Structure 1
Amino acid sequence: MTPGSSTEYPTRPNPPTRIRPDVDTDVQEVDVLVVGAGPAGCMLATQLARFGIKTKIIDERPDRTPTGRADGLQPKTIETFKQMRIAEPVLRKGVKIFDIAFWNSSAGQRLRRTGRQEHFPPLVDVLEPFILLVHQGMVESLFLDDMKERGLEVERNCVFETCTVKEDEAYPVEAVYKDKVKNTTKRVRAKYIVGCDGAHSLVRKCMPGVAMEGETTDVFWGVLDGVVETDFPDLWSKCAISSHEAGTILCIPREKNMTRLYIELNTVGETGNGKISKAIAKDFVIQRAKAILKPYTINWTSIEWFGVYQIGQRVSTSFSHKNRIFIAGDAGHTHSPKAAQGMNVSMHDTYNLSWKLAHVLHGLAKPAILDTYAEERRKIACDLIRFDHEHAKAFIKNDSKALAENFKTNIRFISGVGAVYGPNSLNLPSWTSTKLVPGELLVPARAVRYVDANPVDLQLDIPVLGQWRLYFLAKDYQASKYFLDTMAEFITSPLSILGRASEKSRGAPTPARAEADDIVQPQRYTTTGRLFTPALITRTPQAELELADLCPMMKDARWTVYLDRLEGRTSPFKKWVGGEVREGETVLAVVRPDGYVGAIGKWVPEGVEQAAAWVEAYFGGFLQG
């Protein structure tokens, strides 16, 4: 069977087929098969396990990544981990980078610091204005531990071979893989398969007509993780170091007192045979690093990880085939690692895909919603390649000014908050003037939780449960009470598609409960079902607001009633709405399960029928009740 081909089974009896002894005749059936247990694959499998989806994840490696590889978590990824309630271990173990220094030499001047700047200046609205340096294996461990609590573990030493799509079957994707330990070939039937299996993805090769497009340069870089002794003064800042004679280094502090150096190797011919050989390159790379850092000295007391890579900026022509086979992460896009983007973008690929798959598998959304995965994430991949091309070019040319300007121009994208989706069925262009923009992430804001008077970050307070969030902002609750009560009654009733789909969500398979759920208490946020969580934000003083006076929907959802009473620039009315909200006006911000704003509108009490029709039209575009 060749990749992308389809096998037709006979409709009439045939003589018994002789089965090879090394072929496992048992065929497992799952909802989703995930190929690859790197950060992208683990993010997907973790989310699907949380959503109650029958999932299988395989990987050819015998264990998680032990050292090295990807190294940086951007502010948006840290925020995502906080929403998932898994951030604490890496925040405790990682190294936080708040600034970046630029070093240069010229024919007339020795190596010197030419600039220093905040990594994420205040114009980037993020909670955590730093890069968190941790190695890839530490990130994988977060997911692996969470998956194990929910009864899902990676099946290792498994090499994916091929898969085919057969229409009109309950499990239309059949995959074949080999167990390297048992030396047997196994088959899986799935409703969907997702390839998170790297730049040389075999899953991608099963997608007819799909290929990687872009450029691969002849510039090679060496990577060293280790403990160093040096008199270089900025060792514990992120540094871009450019020698006019010897090349460029990107220096990054790491956990366990280590330092990572990305070292430009110039042309491959300098090794003498036209190729970089890993057997001899480590010494060569070390000597190149010493030459670039002169007159400063550097020596390694230990080296934990070493690698050599070639820069390539490429994007797959498609991220899906028939909405049954999908690719994510390096299987869909490759680029240089010097801006700490790869692991972050890869995980957000599958973060985007996970809830859409769950919606379809639970019968809550039309299968066409899956079209938006390839559309949205391929756009982000192309945006990344454009940025990375200029970023890498500035490094190679030793152009410190261009490098600093490129970094400054793209800082929102680098942080993750500047990854913006275009208009589609999920991102409804706004007709009212607010600071929230459909297709962009919900910006940070703070309020006081009514039920326990805790100040909270609104974008973090509701945990990730694969649910939509409907934020009603009412300046004066009593003036907006008619609108709020009427809308609540409508969206929870069989008259609305939201109400019907939400009721259907109660019958979806229950996710395996984990120990972490004892802390999260997910039932606080599932009072209307498992499709959406309503939230009320008001400036009404607490003394004038009683839970007993709220409509049944919000009375049940008491953990998501918030008071906008904190001083300063964190107010959701200021940061989300912007202009003055008049007495009686109510703003409704619809936020997708992945934290992106889907739609936003503002109405007076008399506009409740128009608001109901607006909500019905929006959710009717992709839900099925």
Structure 2
Amino acid sequence: MDVDAGAVSTPTTTAANSVHSDHEATPRPELVNENEPVCIVPALGRRLQQHVERYDVTVVGAGPAGLMLGLTLARLGITPLILDERTEQTPAGRADGMQPKTIETLRMLGIADELLQQGVKVYDICLWHSPAHSPSPSPSRVARELHYPAFIVDLVDPFLLVGHQGMVERVFVADLAKRGINVTRCHRFEELTLNDGRGTMQVLTRFNVMREPRTFETSYLVGCDGAHSRVRKTMSPAASAARDDESEMSVWGVLDGEVETNFPDIFTKAVVFSERFGSILIMPRERDMTRLYIEMRPDAHPITATTDPELVQAAIMRRAAQILLPYQLRWRTVEWFGQYRVSQRVAPQFASTAPVPPDPRAASTCPQTEDQQPRIFIAGDAAHTHSPKAAQGMNTALHDSWNLAWKLNLAIRGLCQPSILLNSYETERQKIARDLVAFDYEHANQLSRGDPAALAENFRTNVRFISGVGVEYGQNELNTEGIPGAGARPGCTLPPGKVSRYIDANPVDVQLDIPVLGQFKVYMFVPDVSEAAQSAFLTALCGGIAEPTSLMSKLSAVASKSYLERPRVPSAEDIYKRPERYTAVSQLFVFALITSTPKQNFELAQLPQILARSPWTIYVDDMPDLDTQGSHCTTKYLGPNAALPGHVTLLNVRPDGYVGSLKTWNLGVSSSSSSSPSPSPAATSASNTPPAAEQQQSAAQMGAEASQWLQEYFSRFLAVPLV
């Protein structure tokens, strides 16, 4: 959305007048050899400076999207440069709602607790309607519904978490600081050029009040710089042109502050439709505040770009009071207000291989990249805009960065096919942006039309998408094979799954337990590890993975060297989280076992080495009573057929928690066969069950096939670098 912030009425939100830069606190970068050539830009008639700091990734914009990208990259061992032209982080207002999937992602990163403590949890939504021709046009409640009904969407956190954007930025900035990374403020991005023959780019900025030029060298540039993105303008002409999917724009006002009112639903999410005056969306906020989104119809006030902010604020407050009549509405304080025009737009390009020269004469001087992998990206409002009323903007922006960070990490470390993996960012996230714009267009229009029944139906239909867990990536090189009827589906997040951890008997959530380390998670669902055939399958599978000539072994060897040279950036909390528990076998893959075998029936030492060496990822599926749906994890993830005895399944989960692929093998045995009495020879000959030795041999062959299936999946987008 395009937001024009208005007057701020409390001293706590007044922006600092002093201009400062904290780039000196950023970790020491590499220095580029002064004898290496740089690109000359004839349009400016100058030569770019020769001594520049070098970074793998430069992020322009320190809003939620930029900070999310930075802190995720830091966890994976990549130290980014984060530039922002503002003097400080957002003090108040702007985005304010975190959906359940966003909460889950922040839990994965270990930074959700402070926001959960300070934010307001919204569990339901109320709809009110005030007809135009009623003798007393008083609004009445026409519906009250759960925000996220459990029978529609399966969630660990079934609520909307509300808190202003500055709270989120503060948590993100603090997390970066723990890893020695600070935002380089007061730097305005100006220009991007390619270096000759190095596959890198030079970023020109101007900083401080004197607008002094400063240059950085980078391998990748990510624009998280808002709806008027300057980075977007450096991409191809198609991306820098007017964006598509633009609808007619209507004006809405936004107010944050403390109110005095006798309106009964002021402490929950409420939508009030007044046929005479327009609509209001009410959101409870932290510190006993309330946010109101107020529709400003043309008769309310002729708001223009030059209208005095105080007059705009007064008009917005007056219209809000009119819509709620006869309920009273008075403002004790106003912390922030703004106005925006609803527009739904999606950039035609989220990634580009090379910048557009600032002048046509520079085209022949500035080289093109040789590898044709994307090196310029946009995320958040730079890539898509829409109304804020469904609380989607910040959530979508954060997951743009969440999707991109792990892919950049693998590209920088030389562990992938970058033209495939990095291009998947645009393929996946542009689809989500278009899905969001289509939903938001209808949602915003129904808010303005004042049809509570239509709005409620639209919300119920799209509640999975709104929550974030209904975001689905299409089939591509990363999201491939699935199982009909399975709850775990390629291109989707894992549903909540409750199991107990073998080593300490703690109940844990499968989708949250393994920390974010940039690894692919390979879950092995083996119902009975003590049964001979299933044990043979598991042994052959793990043996194939560990074979030195296998792709996964070769990739693990390269990853081990890479993380030794460039380790993940630690924080003080690591002493409690112990990330080394999950990297003992591989820096790139983590192997987990989920079994229904009672804990007392097997020991860790009996498992194949790659599992025995990873004791913190051995789980027992014995916690259905604690599950959100009262289900066993195996049944919920794999469906009723794949969860049958004698069926073993592999489930690949990407570093961002989305399912990549899964497949089941039917070993044709019962999980109780190992403990059953031996059948008589007559019974054996009469049955279709093969002799035990043949059964184990067949299972071992299937295990080898499963290992090969894994190698083939990862070969689609990963690669061992050529020496």
TM-score range, shorter chain: over 0.9
* Alignment partner of 1:491 is 2:542: no
Instruction: Select which of 323, 333, 346 maps to 1:292.
Output: 323
Aligned to 1:120: 148
More off after superposition, 31-40 vs 558-567: 558-567
* Residue 275 of structure 1, CA deviation: 6.4
Q: Does residue 1:56 correspond to 2:113, yes or no?
A: no
Give the superposition deviation at 1:429.
3.0
Q: For residues 432 and 620 of structure 1, do their structure 2 counterparts lie closer, same or farther at Cα, with a shift above 3 Å needed?
A: farther
CA offsets, 1:4-31, max 9 Å, x none? xxxxx98999xxx9989xx865311110
Q: Which of 344, 367, 370 is the matching residue for 2:418?
A: 367
Matches within 5 A, 1:151-550: 151-166=180-195, 168-170=197-199, 172-181=200-209, 183-209=211-237, 210=239, 211=241, 212-267=243-298, 270-271=301-302, 277-322=308-353, 323-368=374-419, 369-430=421-482, 434-479=486-531, 480-508=534-562, 509-550=566-607
SS of the equivalent of 1:307 reads: strand
**Alpha-carbon distance in 2 for matches of 1:460, 1:258:** 32
Question: Are 2:624 and 1:573 aligned?
Answer: no
Task: Name the amino acid aligned to 2:345.
Answer: R
- The residue type equivalent to 1:482 in the other structure is A
Q: Give distance in 2, aligned partners of 1:594 and 1:200.
A: 28
For normalisation by structure 2, the TM-score amounts to 0.82
Secondary structure at the residue paired with 1:256? helix
Q: 1:498 to 1:433 in 2, by over 3 A?
A: farther
> Is the contact between residue 219 and residue 267 of structure 1 (CA under 8 Å) also seen in structure 2?
no
Matched-pair contact (CA < 8 Å) for 2:190–2:206: yes
Partners of 1:432 and 1:601 within 8 A in 2: no
Question: Structure 2 vs 1, CA of residues 216 and 280 (structure 1 numbering), >3 Å: closer, same or farther?
Answer: farther
Shift of 1:545: 1.1
Q: What is the CA-CA distance between 1:610 and the residue it aligns to?
A: 2.2
In the alignment, the residues of structure 2 paired with residue 408 and residue 552 of structure 1 have an alpha-carbon distance, to the nearest angstrom, of 48
**Distance in 2 between residues matched to 1:444 and 1:10, nearest whole Å:** 53
Tell me which structure has the larger Cα radius of gyration: 2
Which residue of 1 is the match for residue 610 of structure 2?
A: 553
Q: What is the CA distance between 1:478 and its match in structure 2?
A: 2.1
Query: Is the Cα–Cα contact under 8 Å of residues 300 and 315 in structure 2 kept in the other structure?
Result: no
1:533 aligned partner, one-letter code: V
- The letter for the 2-side match of 1:357 is L
Amino acid at match of 1:554: L
- Alpha carbons 1:315, 1:381 under 8 Å: kept: yes
Gaps of 5+ in 1: 1-8
> 2:59 corresponds to which residue?
34
Letter in 2 for 1:419: V
Cα deviation for residue 496 of structure 1 reads 1.7
1:594 equivalent in alignment to 2:656: yes
Which digits, 9 at most, give the CA deviation of each residue in 1:391-426, with x for residues without a partner?
Answer: 000011111111111111110000000110000000
One-letter amino acid of the counterpart of residue 148, structure 1? A
Report the CA distance shift for 1:598/1:273 in structure 2 as closer, same or farther (over 3 A): closer
SS in 1 for 2:185: coil
CA 1:206–1:113: 2 relative to 1, 3 Å: same
Cα deviation, residue 609, structure 1: 2.8
Shift of 1:573: 1.1
Deviates more, 1:490-499 or 1:232-241: 490-499
> Residues 65 and 235 (structure 1 numbering): CA distance in 2 closer, same or farther, change over 3 Å?
same
Distance 1:74 1:11, change over 3 A: closer
SS of the residue corresponding to residue 301 of structure 1 reads: strand
Task: Note if contact 2:225-2:381 (Cα within 8 Å) is conserved in structure 1.
Answer: yes
Would you say the 8 A contact 2:498–2:624 is kept in 1?
A: no
489-498 vs 441-450, which deviates more? 489-498
CA offset at residue 276 of structure 1? Answer: 5.0
1:44 corresponds to 2:69: yes
Separation of aligned partners in 1, 2:568 and 2:541: 30
- SS state at 2:611 partner: helix
Report if aligned partners of 2:223, 2:231 keep a CA contact under 8 Å in 1.
yes
- Cα distance, 1:41 vs structure 2: 0.3
After superposition, the C-alpha distances for 1:148-180 in whole angstroms (9 at most, x for unaligned) are: 11111100011001112356314x221111112
Contact 1:430 1:601 survives alignment (8 Å): yes
Distance in 1 between the 2:211 and 2:37 partners? 29
CA contact (8 A) 2:487 2:638 kept: yes
Which amino acid is the alignment partner of residue 92 of structure 2? T
Could you tell me whether the CA contact under 8 Å between 1:470 and 1:532 is conserved in 2? yes
Given that residues 483 and 638 in structure 2 are in contact (C-alpha distance below 8 angstroms), is that contact kept between their aligned partners in structure 1? no
Match of 1:125, SS state, is coil
Using the alignment, how far apart are the partners of 1:279 and 1:185 within structure 2?
37
8 Å contact from structure 1 (residues 196, 327) kept in 2? yes
CA distance in 1, matches of 2:160, 2:303: 38
Secondary structure at the aligned position of 1:579 is classed as: helix
Residues in 1 aligned to 2:458 and 2:111: alpha-carbon distance in whole angstroms: 32
| SS of corresponding position for 1:471 | strand
> What is the alpha-carbon distance in structure 1 between the residues aligned to residue 222 and residue 543 of structure 2?
39
| Residues 122-173 of structure 1, C-alpha deviations (whole Å, 9 max, x = no match) | 1211100000001111111121111111111100011001112356314x22
Counterpart amino acid of residue 329 in structure 1: G
RMSD, aligned α-carbons: 2.0
Q: Say if 1:301 and 1:11 are closer, same or farther in 2 by CA, change over 3 A.
A: closer
Q: Is the 8 A contact 1:103 1:239 kept in 2?
A: yes
Report the CA distance between 1:455 and its aligned residue: 0.6
Contact map agreement 1:164 1:206 (CA 8 A) in 2: no
Structure 2: 5+ residue stretches without partners: 1-35, 354-373, 668-698
Q: In 2, distance between residues paired with 1:261 and 1:372?
A: 38
TM-score, normalised to structure 1, is 0.94
Deviation at 1:528, TM superposition (A): 1.8
- Residue identity matched to 2:545: I
Structure with the larger strand share: 1
Report if the CA contact (8 A) 2:544-2:704 is conserved: no
Equivalences, count: 611
Moved more, 256-265 or 521-530: 521-530
Greater Cα shift, 578-587 or 411-420: 578-587
Secondary structure of residue in 2 paired with 1:214:
coil
One-letter code aligned to 1:584: G
